[in-house]
Amino acid sequence: MKIGNIVSSTKINVSEDFNVVESLDDIIQGLPTLIIGWDYVKKHYPDYDIITRKLSDNLFWTFKRHEKRDLHEEDIYNFVQNTYNSLVNKITYYFVDPFSLSRKALVKLLNKVNESKLISYYHDDMCYIYFDNLILGIDLTFTEFVGISREKILNRINIKSSIFLTKDAIFIEYKQRVESLDNQVKYVPVLYSIEHG
């Protein structure tokens, strides 16, 4: 699954999450799109704005590298960042605080999440459970502090999850994308779901 389009006649180095094509005919409709090339924009969009470089709500443009190198690099970077940010802005993060929940309420919450397709990610002392545009974050150090075994809770999450990811197996693959999201590893299950549909 792709999250954005980039139309360019030259090679562009971006994540595989972007549909890089040479023509507007090959874009995936409905996704944010960046057109690279002032000459193309002048010809096809006579009302373009050279300051904002925005053609419509979901359509942007920038210069080719040889036309204006500094703006070219900056605009591609900003487009990628904004596309990732707009994706995660639709997702709600909820930190499950075992100090404010009783043991019974925590178990009830974990039982309830099995109603959806879950993608879970275990990273250091945190476990992130992603489903239905919601991420639950559980600090396993806190659960041990209130008397719930780390292994027991991880085993329960693993059983309920359709996909259970761990740091060693997956983080390296998503490291660059996570950096685009201010190093917030809680989004690894979201990125995984995008890539694997």
Can you give the residue range of the structural domain that contains 112? 92-196
Q: What is the tens place of the pLDDT at every residue in 84-100?
A: 999 899 899 999 887 78
Task: Quickly tell me which residue has 């090679």 as its tokens.
Answer: 11
CA neighbor of 5 nearest in space, from 90, 76, 89? 76
Among 61, 88, 115, which residue terminates a domain?
A: 88
Alpha carbons 2 and 194: distance in angstroms, whole number: 7
Tens digits of residue pLDDT in 124-178: 889 999 988 899 999 888 887 777 788 888 888 888 888 999 877 688 788 888 8
Q: Which amino acid is at 95?
A: F
Domain with 146 in it: what CATH number? 3.30.720.210
Residue 37 has pLDDT above 70, yes or no: yes
pLDDT (mean) for 55-60: 95
Overall number of domains in the chain: 2
pLDDT value at 115 more than 60: no
Residues 116 and 70 in one domain: no
Q: What is the pTM of this model?
A: 0.79
Domain boundary among 46, 72, 88: 88
Same domain, 191 and 118: yes
Residues forming beta bridges with residue 4, ordered by sequence position: 18
Q: Are residues 192 and 120 in the same domain?
A: yes
Residues 140, 127: contact at Cβ < 8 Å? Answer: yes
Q: Are 157 and 112 members of one domain?
A: yes
- Provide the token pair at 46: 């006579």
Are 84 and 96 contained in the same domain? no
Whether residue 114 is found in the same domain as residue 180: yes
Reduced to 3 states (helix: H, G, I; strand: E, B; else coil), residue 50 is coil
80 and 144, same domain (yes or no): no
| The pLDDT of residue 16 | 86
Whether 154 and 174 share a structural domain? yes
Task: Tell me: do 179 and 166 sit in the same domain.
Answer: yes
The pLDDT assigned to 23 comes to: 93
Task: Using the 3D structure, point to which of 88, 119, 143 is the last residue of a domain.
Answer: 88
Note whether 131 and 60 are same-domain residues: no
Does residue 119 contact residue 163 with C-beta atoms inside 8 Å?
A: yes
The predicted pLDDT at position 148 comes to: 77
